[in-house]
Each structure stands twice: as C-alpha cells, then as structure tokens.
C-alpha cells in the first residue's frame, strides 16, 4: 500500500524573478552554482556569498523560458535580494519580488508528482520543473528532495491546498515532522543551520552548489583558500542522543561524561541548530577530542560530520 500523501504550505518562502538580456551572465557572475548550460525546465541549488565568503543566502535557481526563478527560505530573502540588487549596475536585467504574489506548497513523497497526475516525468532529477495544472489550477511543479513543490498564484493557494487534501488519506505535515525529514536528509535551513556568519566549507556545500571551476563570483577567493589549506574550524554534523531530547541552542561539550556541566572541565565545542526528538543538526568544532556530551543533560551524543549538505529550498 502506498504511503499517505502529506502536504505542507511553504508560501512564506522567498521568491524572486530575474529576466533581461543579461540575466544568465548576471547570475553566473554573482551566484555560486555553475549555471552554464542550465536549460529551461532545469535548476540547481546555489548560494550568494559576501565578498569575504560568508553565506548571504542559500536557495535554488530555476531556468524558465524568459529568465530565472529563485527560491529561498524566508530568512535568506533579504540577503539574496540586496545582493542581486546592488550587483545589477551595468547589467541589462530586471529583478522582481514574487514572495507575496506566489504561493508554494510541498507535497511529500518520491512519487507525489505521479500520484497527483502532474506531467513531471518519473525519475526527474531534483529541481526539474514544468508548467502544468492540478485539477485545472495552473502550477509550476518542481521536483524537490522531499517530493514535489507546487508554485501557484497566491490567490489560488487555498484552492490548491483543497485540491491536494481531497486525495485519499492526505494529511498535513506539521512542523515537527518536517524538521525530522529535513534533519534526516541533511538539508540546511537558512536562519537555523546557516546564517551570515557561515562559510561554505563549514556547511559542507558541495561543488554542485558552490562551484570552484567556473569564473569569478563574490567570495570565491575565500572558498579556494579554504579548499587549498583544508582549514575548517567548524563543520555541520548530524547528532544523535539515545537518552536526551535535543533542542535548537543546546550546547555540546567535550571532556567526557565526567565533565561538570556547569562549566568545570567542560569545553563548549558545538551547538544544535535544528532538532527533532533525539536527532539534530549541529555546528561542531573540528578536531573536538573525546566523546561529546549534551550539556543540558550530561548525556553522551554521537556526532557524524555530513559529507555534503544541501539547502532545504
């Protein structure tokens, strides 16, 4: 029996459109992903960096017939828009905010698009997308890590939610369930797991998201310097605590279970950024010695560095 469909309204996500004769070259010069050859109907995860390499935004870019659509978690929107807006001088481009004009609904499941009858091919790669309709409602269906994202006009969000919810055994995906899926998948949410002080190497962003073999873009020198030196002071990790409930902001300390949680003998080496029950994502200092302990309870935790992380949107 197929698993029940679940849906989550993510309409507060940031949305921008970039168009104009220079749109492709403009984004190639500012974003970290290599957009060369990105054809309409395809997309990629990407980032926008500050000149010194800090991550100003994480998100995805989709190539459409008349330009590009950019989506990001809401906390990343201001940094993304300001970075593009300030860099537009000399380029023949137009940048439009679409956050309030469009909604975004995620339907969970690898086969969600097919079960909804959408014209997105089975086995399509992440970020593949197509303009289609669901029960007569025009949508852009985007293959996502969690299932399929449906981008729709803001005034049709309610109708879209109703149409999806009418499917047999369909229910809502609450915040806890969504966080659990995101943590298990190693998907980073900007504003939780990443922010303006983060560096790409600390977030384990791979070549597909932060390319080093294309032309110059803001922050590339820092990316290359860290790559050459191998000097990474912090790293995003998965954390599991067998006997303690984890929460964002919880501290991880080195010194073993005998360390005094109040401070004596304990050295803070990391902090939880996203959590659901016994599992979490955390930013942890590299080279932390000995077993790590959840400071709030004194419980030992298992910490595993993530080989390659990607944005949650």
CATH code where residue 72 lies: 3.30.1360.120
Let me know if residue 48 belongs to a domain: yes
Predicted confidence band at 36 (pLDDT cuts at 50, 70, 90)?
Answer: very high
Let me know if residue 254 belongs to a domain: no
Predicted confidence band at 255 (pLDDT cuts at 50, 70, 90)?
Answer: low
How many structural domains compose the chain?
1
pLDDT tens for residues 105-134?
999 998 999 999 998 988 899 999 999 999
User: Is pLDDT of 262 > 90?
Assistant: no
Let me know if residue 12 belongs to a domain: yes
From CA 290, how far away is CA 274, in angstroms rounded?
23
What is the per-residue pLDDT for 121?
A: 85
Which DSSP symbol is given to 177? H
- In Å, how far are 11, 50, 83, 136, 195 from 79, measured between CA atoms? 18, 9, 6, 35, 10
User: Is pLDDT of 258 > 80?
Assistant: no
pTM: 0.93
Assigned token pair, 311: 């944005």
What is the per-residue pLDDT for 257?
A: 52
Let me know if residue 10 belongs to a domain: yes
Let me know if residue 257 belongs to a domain: no
What's the burial of 144, exposed, middle or buried (CB within 10 Å: 0-12/13-18/19+)? buried
Let me know if residue 206 belongs to a domain: no
Q: Which domain holds residue 69?
A: 6-177
102 bridge partner residues = 153
Let me know if residue 222 belongs to a domain: no
Let me know if residue 207 belongs to a domain: no
From CA 246, how far away is CA 182, in angstroms rounded?
15
Asked whether the beta carbons of 88 and 2 are under 8 A apart, the reply is no
């Amino acid at each position: 029996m197929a698993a029940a469909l679940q849906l989550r309204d993510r309409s507060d996500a940031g949305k921008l459109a970039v168009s104009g004769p220079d749109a492709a070259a403009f984004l190639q010069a500012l974003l970290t992903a290599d957009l060369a050859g990105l054809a309409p109907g395809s997309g990629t995860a990407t980032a926008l960096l500050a000149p010194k390499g800090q991550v100003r935004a994480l998100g995805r870019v989709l190539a459409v017939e008349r330009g590009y659509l950019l989506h990001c978690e809401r906390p990343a929107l201001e940094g993304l828009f300001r970075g593009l807006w300030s860099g537009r001088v000399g380029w023949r481009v137009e940048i439009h905010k679409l956050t309030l004009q469009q909604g975004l609904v995620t339907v969970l499941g690898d086969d969600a698009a097919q079960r909804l009858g959408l014209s997105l091919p089975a086995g399509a790669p992440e970020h593949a997308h197509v303009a289609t309709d669901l029960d007569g409602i025009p949508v852009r269906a985007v293959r996502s890590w969690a299932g399929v994202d449906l981008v729709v006009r803001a005034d049709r969000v309610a109708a879209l939610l109703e149409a999806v919810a009418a499917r047999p055994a369909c229910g809502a995906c609450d915040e806890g369930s969504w966080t659990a899926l995101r943590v298990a998948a190693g998907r980073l949410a900007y504003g939780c797991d990443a922010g303006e002080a983060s560096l790409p190497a600390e977030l384990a962003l791979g070549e597909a998201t932060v390319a080093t073999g294309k032309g110059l873009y803001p922050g590339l020198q820092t990316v290359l310097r860290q790559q050459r030196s191998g000097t990474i002071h912090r790293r995003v990790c998965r954390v599991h605590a067998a006997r303690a409930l984890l929460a964002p902001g919880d501290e991880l300390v080195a010194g073993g279970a005998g360390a005094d949680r109040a401070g004596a003998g304990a050295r803070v080496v990391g902090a939880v950024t996203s959590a659901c029950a016994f599992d979490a994502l955390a930013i942890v200092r590299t080279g932390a010695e000995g077993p790590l302990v959840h400071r709030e309870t004194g419980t030992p935790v298992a910490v595993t560095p993530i080989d390659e992380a990607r944005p949650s949107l």
